[in-house]
């Protein structure tokens, strides 16, 4: 069966409209081909954006669809969708976490084996996981307190050592050794705290160093590209061009050249204005007295002559 041109055009137009709708929804973070497995949760504040990823054990299984503020409860309500193959219970929690130092936030499904199977449309409990920066800040606060106590002990030790120099008795030496022992214990406690902190955040610190290394390489590439552009040569050429333009404008301002004379010579301007006026008068006279300029005769009749006032001049017999 032969398909007419109108049918082909209609099919093409409908296909374009469908593709436009799909692209529009895809840019909004929605996919028309995804299953409608939508769930809900809420947080005290909003740290997400539309299309933020939803993960489970580090694997991307969905994304955030919509974020709304609940004026009654004062909380942020989050709507997200996951793959239809994913199975988890209602007791599972939705954890808000930071994806990295330079990245944004995402949701993670913390699966619980207890409870009934979650169904699309269910509301799930949420929790917030502190990022690396917050952990380091809190841990270093404790370390700083221990370090302060250690510095106080060291200050006491120095005072006692000073006393030891003055007091060379046995009691003075025993007191100094006792203070030194207490100071060493404080340093040992601080070293344990620092070691524990580094061990706890070893993977995060390694990831942070890797990110810094990647940023350094990118900056190196950008610097090389800027070097190859030869920016100084480009600026020199631009300066040369501007100097030429400036010289040209100065010549025009001084009345040099045709353009300068046309703009600066008042006599030329007056002559042009007079010529234009005479041309206008000539055209007006041709319009009012066409016979004075155009003569046509089939029998060879001489044209009539006119004086400057427009009166006909009679020929003498």
d(CA 286, CA 196): 108
d(CA 156, CA 179): 8
Q: Where on the phi/psi map is residue 74: left (φ > 0), alpha (ψ -120 to 50), or beta?
A: left
Longest dimension (CA), the chain: 164
Q: What is the pLDDT of residue 158?
A: 67
Q: What domain range includes position 148? A: 133-200
Residue 109: is its pLDDT beyond 90?
A: yes
Q: What is the pLDDT of residue 292?
A: 67
Domain C-terminal end among 153, 173, 200: 200
Q: What is the pLDDT of residue 125?
A: 93
29 with 39, same domain? no
Average pLDDT over residues 29-53: 78
113 with 73, same domain? yes
Structure tokens belonging to residue 232 = 């100084």
Q: Residues near 70 by Cβ (< 8 Å), separated by ≥ 6?
A: 42, 76, 77
Summarize the chain as % helix, strand, coil (round to 5): 55, 15, 30
Q: What is the pLDDT of residue 191?
A: 77
Q: What is the pLDDT of residue 307?
A: 61
With beta carbons less than 8 A apart as the criterion, state whether 121 and 40 touch.
Answer: yes
Number of domains in the chain: 3
Distances (CA, A) of 144 to 149, 156, 200: 9, 18, 18
Residue 37: is its pLDDT beyond 80?
A: yes
High-pLDDT (> 90) share of the chain, %? 19
Q: Which of 112-116, 136-140, 262-266 has the lowest mean pLDDT?
A: 136-140
Q: Is residue 80 part of a domain?
A: yes
Q: Which of 65-79, 102-116, 162-176, 187-201 has the lowest mean pLDDT?
A: 162-176
- Which long-range contacts does 18-24 make (Cβ < 8 Å, 24+ apart)? none
- At 53, is the pLDDT very low, low, confident or very high (cuts 50, 70, 90)? very high
d(CA 58, CA 13): 42
Average pLDDT over residues 243-258: 79
Structure tokens belonging to residue 206 = 């390694």
Q: What is the pLDDT of residue 111?
A: 92
Residue 80: strand pairing partners:
39, 64
- At 187, is the pLDDT very low, low, confident or very high (cuts 50, 70, 90)? confident
Average pLDDT over residues 268-292: 79
d(CA 118, CA 107): 17
Q: Is residue 103 part of a domain?
A: yes
45 with 118, same domain? yes
Tokens 């499904």 found at: 109
Q: What pTM was computed for the model? A: 0.36
Average pLDDT over residues 277-295: 77
Q: What is the pLDDT of residue 133?
A: 47
Q: Which of 193-197, 233-237, 292-296 has the lowest mean pLDDT?
A: 292-296
140 with 194, same domain? yes
43 with 110, same domain? yes
Q: Give the pLDDT confidence of 126-171 residue by residue, as tens digits.
A: 998 876 445 545 555 555 566 667 777 767 766 766 655 555 555 6
- At 281, is the pLDDT very low, low, confident or very high (cuts 50, 70, 90)? confident
What is the average pLDDT score of the chain?
76
56 with 122, same domain? yes
49 with 124, same domain? yes
């Amino acid at each position: 069966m032969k398909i007419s041109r109108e049918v082909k055009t209609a099919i093409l137009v409908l296909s374009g409209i469908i593709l436009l709708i799909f692209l529009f929804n895809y840019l909004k973070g929605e996919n028309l081909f995804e299953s409608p497995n939508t769930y809900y949760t809420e947080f005290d504040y909003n740290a997400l954006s539309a299309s933020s990823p939803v993960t489970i054990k580090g694997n991307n299984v969905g994304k955030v669809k919509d974020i709304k503020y609940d004026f009654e409860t004062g909380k942020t309500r989050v709507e997200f969708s996951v793959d239809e193959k994913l199975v988890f219970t209602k007791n599972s929690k939705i954890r808000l976490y930071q994806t990295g130092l330079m990245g944004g936030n995402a949701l993670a499904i913390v699966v619980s084996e207890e409870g009934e199977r979650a169904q699309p449309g269910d509301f799930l409990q949420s929790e917030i996981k502190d990022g690396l920066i917050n952990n380091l800040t809190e841990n270093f606060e404790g370390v700083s307190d221990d370090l302060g106590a250690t510095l106080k002990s060291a200050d006491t030790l120095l005072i006692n050592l000073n006393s030891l120099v003055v007091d060379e008795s046995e009691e003075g030496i025993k007191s100094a050794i006792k203070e030194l022992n207490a100071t060493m214990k404080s340093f040992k406690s601080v070293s344990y705290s620092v070691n524990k902190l580094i061990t706890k955040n070893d993977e995060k610190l390694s990831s942070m160093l890797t990110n810094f290394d990647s940023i350094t390489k990118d900056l190196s590439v950008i610097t090389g590209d800027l070097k190859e552009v030869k920016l100084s040569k480009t600026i020199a050429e631009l300066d040369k061009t501007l100097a030429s333009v400036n010289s040209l404008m100065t010549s025009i301002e001084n009345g040099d050249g045709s353009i300068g004379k046309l703009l600066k010579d008042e006599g030329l301007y007056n002559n042009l204005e007079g010529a234009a006026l005479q041309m206008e008068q000539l055209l007006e006279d041709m319009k009012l007295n066409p016979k004075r300029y155009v003569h046509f005769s089939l029998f060879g009749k001489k044209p009539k002559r006119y004086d400057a006032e427009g009166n006909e001049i009679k020929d003498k017999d």
